Amino acid sequence: MRVALLALLLVVAGCSGGGGGNGEVNLRMTVWTSEKTQLALFDEIAGEYRRQHPDVKSITFDVVPFDRYNTALTTQLAGSNPPDLAWILERDAPDFVQSGALVNLSKVLTDPQELTPAATKLWQKNGELYAYPFSTSPFGMFYNKDLFAQAGITETPEQAQAAGRWTWETAMRMAAQVVARVPGKSGLVIRDFEYKMWVTLASVWRGFGADAWPRDGKACGFTTPEMVTAMTFLHKAIFTDKALPGPGTTADFFAGQSGMTVAQISRAGLLKEKPFEWGIVPLPAGPKANAQVIGQAGIGVPVKGKQKEAAADFLKFFTSPENSAKLSQFFPPARESLVNAQSLAKVSPLFSAEQLQNVVVNGIRTGEVLPAHTNSAKINSLVQSALDPLWKPDANVPAVLDGVCKAINPVLSQ
């Protein structure tokens, strides 16, 4: 009996003892990419760091699928199992930065002034930097040259841009032509939108001078005349012109199923095997502005982490100018010294110098980040639900948008 009791105590002690009490450093970073080439580069950088820091026994990159990334990350934070470093998506940035969940990195990253101001804005509180914006990826318009040729579209988007005619009207007309003239193909796909992820529509409505909420984030922008015009335009493009595939219709540009797509330039990796001839231009201009949009991701060190200093030191190494240059082949950088066509051309063989300047460099310098707000998850689900009635042929656009504001105003005003 006593032996059994002793064994039980030993087991319990063994279970609760935990590891890492011997001064070893084992770092873990949560990421949402599962692309092998990207993970291999991370491992290469981590290996170099470990050679310089023998006390760091391991650095692992914990892949969590994108669609449940934020849920998994917050659950880990709440469950006393925080990662040492975490990728954070732009829409969640205000929540993480404002709540005090992240370590202040201003003193750790010695050259934050090297980062473009537009790129750091979202990740700052009271002038201090709380996450490193490692990916600042502009949205662009990819188009399939083969399908354009089959549809008999003679003026390319580049030519339209040069002639000052690269507008949303032009883009929708081209998309409708592809649908009408190439059987079985879709026109324009707004990547990841799928009638759920509404923030991606900012790529359209910003050109109309509209936004989800004004800059102070306290009032709803869905009922502004600009937004009504933008959404009416989009509704017509979907249900009347059939330029965009309707709700419930799947089409993947990168599989050759549509003529055009609005997507972040980091998606170009999907065209590595060159499944068809393609081109890329900036987002079209709207009636009010030639607005470019960027998506961002930052790396932060959670306050709850057990090895904050070691994690911050690794982040400094991971995002050094040399490693940022390496990472820029996948993740457009926010460093002034790297935001130029010459530097990017060394690591981005998929784009021509003109495309890099036209889409990437101009996008990073002039683009605005997708809508983000504190309480983003709640706002996101409320807007998604309230916008659902819009995706029907007979929708009353102003009434639906009014419903969106009614749904989110209480949250915005908090």
Partner 1 sequence: MTVRAPARPAAPPEPPVAKPFWTIRRRDALVGWAFIAPQALGFVFFVLVPLVAVIWYSFQSTNLLAGTTEFAGLKNYEHLLDDPVMPSVARATALFCVGLVVLNLGLALLLAVLLNQKLRGTTVFRTIFFSPVVVSLVAWTIAWNLMLQDNGSINAMLRTVGIDGPNWLRGENSAMVSVIVVQVVKNVGLNMVLFLAALQGVPRSLLEAAELDGAGPWRRFRTITLPMISPTTLLTAIITVSGALHVFAQIQILTLGGPADSTNVLVFYFYQQAFGNHDFGYGAVLAVVLFVIIALLTTLQWRMRKRWVFYEA
Binding stretches for partner 1 (CB under 8 A):
71, 74-75, 77-78, 95-96, 99-101, 195-196, 246-250, 303-304, 375, 377-378, 381, 384-386, 388-389, 391, 407
Could you tell me the smallest distance in angstroms from the CB atom of residue 158 to partner 1?
31
* Shortest distance, position 411 Cβ to partner 1, whole Å: 10
Closest contact distance (angstroms) between CB of 189 and partner 1 is 13
CA gap 289, 292 in Å, rounded: 9
Residue closer to partner 1 by CB (options 100, 275) is 100
Phi, psi at 243, each rounded to 5°: -75, -30
- Note whether 296 and 136 are within 8 A (CB): yes
Of 77 and 359, the one with the shorter C-beta distance to partner 1 is 77
Handedness of CA 77, 308, 30, 411 (dihedral sign): positive
Which residue, 257 or 320, is less far from partner 1 as judged by CB? Answer: 257
Q: How far is the CB of 183 from partner 1 (least distance, A)?
A: 13
Compute the least distance from the CB of residue 27 to partner 1, in Å: 20
Minimum CB–partner distance for residue 74 and partner 1 (Å): 5
CB proximity list for 304: less than 8 A, separation 6 or greater: 77, 80, 82, 101
- Count of residues in the chain: 414
Q: Which is nearer to partner 1, 47 or 246 (CB)?
A: 246
Cα dihedral 182/186/191/195 (nearest 10) = 170
Which residues contact residue 320 at a Cβ distance below 8 angstroms, ignoring those fewer than 6 apart?
A: none
The secondary structure of residue 302, as a DSSP letter, is B
Long-range contacts of 342-350 (CB under 8 A, 24+ apart): 350/268, 350/269, 350/271, 350/272
**Of 325 and 411, which has the nearer Cβ to partner 1?**
411
Nearer to partner 1, 68 or 236 (CB): 68
Question: What pairs with residue 140 in β-bridges?
Answer: 263, 282
Instruction: Please give the single-letter amino acid code of residue 11.
Output: V
| Nearest to partner 1 of 101, 327 (CB atom) | 101
Distance CA 190, CA 168 (A): 13
Number of Cβ within 10 Å of residue 32's Cβ equals 17
* Shortest distance, position 392 Cβ to partner 1, whole Å: 8
Torsional sign, CA 139, 145, 151, 157: positive
Query: Count of alpha carbons within 13 Å of 358, Cβ hemisphere only?
Result: 19
CB of 384 to partner 1, least distance (A): 7
Q: Least separation, in Å, of the C-beta of 246 and partner 1?
A: 6
Strand partners, 31: 63
- Considering the complex, state which of residue 1 and residue 40 has its C-beta at the smaller distance from partner 1: 1
Closer Cβ to partner 1, 19 or 184, answer by number = 184
